[in-house]
Structure 1
Amino acid sequence: LKPDAPGLGRRTPVRVAATADGRGLARVRLEVVQGDRVHVVADKSYEPRPAWAFWGPRTERAELRAEAGADNVPGLKAGDVVLRVVAERAGTWLLHPAPVVQELKLTVRLSPPTLAVVSSQHYVAQGGAEVAVYRVGPTSVRDGVRVGDWFFPGYALPGGGAQDRFAFFAVPYDMSDGTKARLEAEDEVGNLIELPIVDKFFPKPFPRDRITLEESFMSRVVPEIRAATPDLSDRGSLLENFLAINREVRAQNAKVLADLAGRSQPRFLWKETFLAMPSGKVMSSFADRRTYLYQGKEVDQQFHLGFDLASVQNAPVPAANAGVVALARYFGIYGNTVVVDHGYGLMSLYAHLSTASVTPGQEVARGETLGQTGATGLAGGDHLHFTMLLQGLAVSPNEWWDAHWIEDRLVRKLGAALAFTPPAGESGKRPKASGKKAGAPKKAPPKKAKPKRR
């Protein structure tokens, strides 16, 4: 008899396993007992082996899964309760075994943790980030901000009290209503409290782009990526292999990034504005909605979740801020890639590198060279694909490049917890747009790269 929590809440999952030899099981029943009230939450009977047979089908082992709590047990109140499982074994003509009974004493808890928002003016744009400071009650075991399918966990506020917490959160690039974001706290039996957290939301239309797939491009990138992705099966044609990479490998890469966030260090590893690539021209922007065409027909659509920044070929790529290298390897659609952890689920990603000069676990300083730009992965030419990640979700780098945004949106709420010191003259410094359609080749001297869209 194993409940999934140390008590009962609104709907606590319970697992029961029973075994019997001889003719096998006849019946298993799960009851909730409080005072003189008994409520059956699960009851299942089984067909035993015939009493006259020495062999034949029987149920030697059975498992029941049920939920027990205030939502499905009428009149259940906070306080002591007993979970009881009754297992009956099939008897014989002469023997009728008594039921086996097992009981477990628990406590019913129906009140969620207390939760209070401490910070104010939570203004967030579509594809952008924010931070919330709040206080939870002592019964909370999980807290953070939920935005659609994304959950952004809370952390202990550095220098704060025992119940003081904060959470970075973001509204995904593909969510047009950020007001549904909720700050939440949950206790160990699943009692949940939710509070609205977004004061102002700014929807943002992202650019759309159309990319014509050419045989020469696919012939170059597909074999490279397939060679580095041995579990990707051959789909029979160049186009189908490209689409498998653009869809399946892209999704696999996204999952790895989300998993990577779970190992982010719970401390601030940075204290300055995030750097953009020096002299990098913006060739494609964050969250461009790309439509892929082949022989005049639409074959795929994907979001471009970062900035494509172009300089000279094999340009040095600096770390946007201090941190610890979380990933440095060939990484699917991104080619040679470095991911730097900046703490509390915040990371930066540098893709399509020709070479990487760092290794996982290595501490890097702001501006330290991580590698050189290149055209590995799904890249049409030499450039850097750069993005910021929050719990694995790509968010707009524009905000993190802006010292004013960091001071106004983060430092004002976090206070001394974030020892931010913006470098002189770098407030609001961002890469310059190329003035051309996203991803179009750039006119440059012969030694310059001609970046193309990924």
Structure 2
Amino acid sequence: MMSRTRKIIIKLAIFLVFILALLGATTNVFDASKPEIIAENIIYSNSKDPILIDLKDKGSGIKNVKISLKQDNNNTSTTLIDDKFDNKNELSLQVNLPKPAYKEKIKSYILDIYVKDSSWWNFGNVAKKQIKLIIDDMSPKINILSNSYQIEQGGAASVVFSVDDANLDEVFIQTNKDKIFKVTPFVKQGFYTSLIAWDAKEEEFRAFVVAKDKAGNVSKERIKYYLLNRKYRVSKINLSDRFLDGKIKDLAELYGPKDKELTRFEQFKFVNETLRISNEDLIHNFTTNVPEDIIEDFKINLFLPLKNGKKVADFADHRYYYYDGKEVSQSYHMGLDLASIARAPIISNNSGKVVFADENGIYGLNLILYHGFGLYSLYGHCTDKYTEKDEEVSLNSTIATTGVSGLALGDHLHFGVLVQGVEVRPEQWQDRRWIENNIYKVLNDAKKTILGTNNETIDLSKSR
């Protein structure tokens, strides 16, 4: 017969197994997975900013972290972090590098990372990682080679510049309003170009080339344009009952909320503000892309989309709307309205790719074409279209006809030009001299510097 002591031992063993099984089922104490060290194999550092290391453990949680630093091929290391943690499932550590000794010029280190979790499995799962740490404390060097002499409020300009940095990460142009313009490699490696634009609704403008390297060093160089403010038209428009109960009502019923009945003034505010913003956002989203990998040249014909077209509304016209003497809304008209005859053919004077060809609220049947270098043309209130999205349009082809679609009272074309999502004065792109001085001359002067040759000036008459 089993002794009483032996029975107690067996019961205790069974109870212990039960407890361990319960712990294993309800906790992660027997988790066998290793912690995760989230970091690149090579990290660039300017030696001033801390290095960010992310750690994860989906099981029992992180218990201990040790991070040490050593020179290449040197076993002597300096401990930067050696801490215990309360079973954290996620950790973000900021690792500060020690200041180098006087005149010490070490350009690379090895960062050793050791992480152990709280699992009972194997007395804790361990993850290790070695990271090559490259020290770069030199900021990128920016050199502006050529740019337009001036930029006009509501207008465009160009620039060509170089950036020198072995560890360059990103380059872009940023305005004082934080608008980002993408830049494109120009002619050969290390050189960049861009069209940029000054929003007509902004009174002030400054533009900077910004270059960042992989170590976090940043350089910023202002593009020295002569700034020319421009006074655009301000219009006072009295709303008629016919207008409110016609086009406005139709658009509000088509695009407005279906679960709420709007008053006639709510309908107008919806169309002139809410719907307009939505339509403009769509346009801006389709016109911000610059798909070229490199630009070696750029040629453009004058934009004259409507034969014998007469201007009937101005670009950047600031419109205030009144009813019974009270202001009820306002908006900007960001294009030229051109009219000739009903359903007149709309011509694309330049080849390009159709990026949008569909209904777009107040713009009605709306076409947008891309012509390279971040430049887009826009055609609104069309009746018929003769091309579709993603099609390539050839030079001087008929793409649509004018009409009264969208928020148009009479047959006309709403024509716009955009640079990376910013509406600019179409008149500039209808001016041969402006294009030669602000685009071709800038690109040619830079190309001469880059190639060290006397390249011939681009002849507009030979452009596509």
- TM-score class, shorter-chain normalisation, is 0.7 to 0.9
The match for 2:57 among 12, 15, 19 is 19
Between 373-382 and 335-344, report the one with greater CA deviation: 373-382
- Give the structure-2-normalised TM-score: 0.73
Shift in Å, 1:344: 1.8
Q: Does 1:80 align with 2:108?
A: yes
SS of residue paired to 2:460: coil
- Counterpart AA for 1:236: E
For 1:382, the equivalent position in structure 2 comes to: 411
Q: Does 1:368 align with 2:368?
A: no
Contact 1:143 1:154 in 2 (8 A): yes
State the distance in 1 between where 2:108 and 2:253 align. Answer: 60
For 1:209, the equivalent position in structure 2 comes to: 235
Shift in Å, 1:164: 2.5
For 2:362, the equivalent position in structure 1 comes to: 333
Instruction: Write out aligned runs for 1:164-313 (5 A).
Output: 164-178=191-205, 180-222=206-248, 224-225=250-251, 229=255, 236-238=261-263, 239-266=265-292, 270-313=299-342
SS of residue paired to 2:433: helix
Contact 2:299 2:460 in 1 (8 A): no
For 2:377, the equivalent position in structure 1 comes to: 348
Shift in Å, 1:156: 2.3
Q: Alpha-carbon deviations, 1:27-65, whole Å to 9, x = none?
A: 57696846665556x99955x6xxxxxxxxxx6x33x45
- Listed as ranges, the gaps of 5+ residues in structure 1 are 49-58, 425-454
The match for 2:151 among 116, 124, 132 is 124
**Residues 13 and 346 (structure 1 numbering): CA distance in 2 closer, same or farther, change over 3 Å?**
farther
**Residues 189 and 212 (structure 1 numbering): CA distance in 2 closer, same or farther, change over 3 Å?**
farther
Shift in Å, 1:114: 2.4
Corresponding pairs, count:
400
Shift in Å, 1:85: 5.6
Looking at CA atoms only, which structure, 1 or 2, has the larger radius of gyration? 2
State the distance in 1 between where 2:268 and 2:165 align. Answer: 51
For 2:15, the equivalent position in structure 1 comes to: none
For 1:421, the equivalent position in structure 2 comes to: 460
For 2:74, the equivalent position in structure 1 comes to: none
Q: Alpha-carbon deviations, 1:68-91, whole Å to 9, x = none?
A: 6xxx75637873345566655447
Instruction: Write out aligned runs for 1:31-180 (5 A).
Output: 33=69, 39=80, 46=86, 61-62=89-90, 64-65=91-92, 75=99, 79-81=107-109, 87=115, 89-90=117-118, 97=124, 102-137=129-164, 139=166, 140-147=168-175, 148-157=177-186, 160-178=187-205, 180=206
4+ residue runs over 6 A deviation? none
Shift in Å, 1:151: 1.7
Contact 2:172 2:210 in 1 (8 A): yes
Contact 2:158 2:438 in 1 (8 A): yes
SS of residue paired to 1:301: strand
**Residues 106 and 423 (structure 1 numbering): CA distance in 2 closer, same or farther, change over 3 Å?**
closer
Contact 2:119 2:125 in 1 (8 A): no
SS of residue paired to 2:54: strand
**Residues 217 and 421 (structure 1 numbering): CA distance in 2 closer, same or farther, change over 3 Å?**
same
Q: Does 1:2 align with 2:38?
A: yes
**Residues 407 and 97 (structure 1 numbering): CA distance in 2 closer, same or farther, change over 3 Å?**
same
SS of residue paired to 1:217: helix
SS of residue paired to 1:411: helix
SS of residue paired to 1:278: coil
SS of residue paired to 2:281: helix
| Aligned residues with identical type, % of pairs | 25
**Residues 137 and 234 (structure 1 numbering): CA distance in 2 closer, same or farther, change over 3 Å?**
farther
Alignment RMSD: 3.6
Shift in Å, 1:243: 2.7
- Counterpart AA for 2:236: R
For 2:452, the equivalent position in structure 1 comes to: none
Q: Alpha-carbon deviations, 1:3-33, whole Å to 9, x = none?
A: 4895234558846241253xx3265769684
State the distance in 2 between where 1:5 and 1:394 align. Answer: 44
State the distance in 2 between where 1:153 and 1:20 align. Answer: 40
Q: Alpha-carbon deviations, 1:123-177, whole Å to 9, x = none?
A: 11111111111122253343232223222222122xx332232111112212322
Between 334-343 and 284-293, report the one with greater CA deviation: 284-293
- Counterpart AA for 2:430: W
Between 327-336 and 2-11, report the one with greater CA deviation: 2-11
- Counterpart AA for 2:227: F
Q: Alpha-carbon deviations, 1:261-318, whole Å to 9, x = none?
A: 3544426674322225322222221112222334543333322211112222222211
For 2:26, the equivalent position in structure 1 comes to: none
- Listed as ranges, the gaps of 5+ residues in structure 2 are 1-36, 72-76, 445-454
- Which structure shows the bigger proportion of residues in helix conformation? 2
- Counterpart AA for 2:158: V
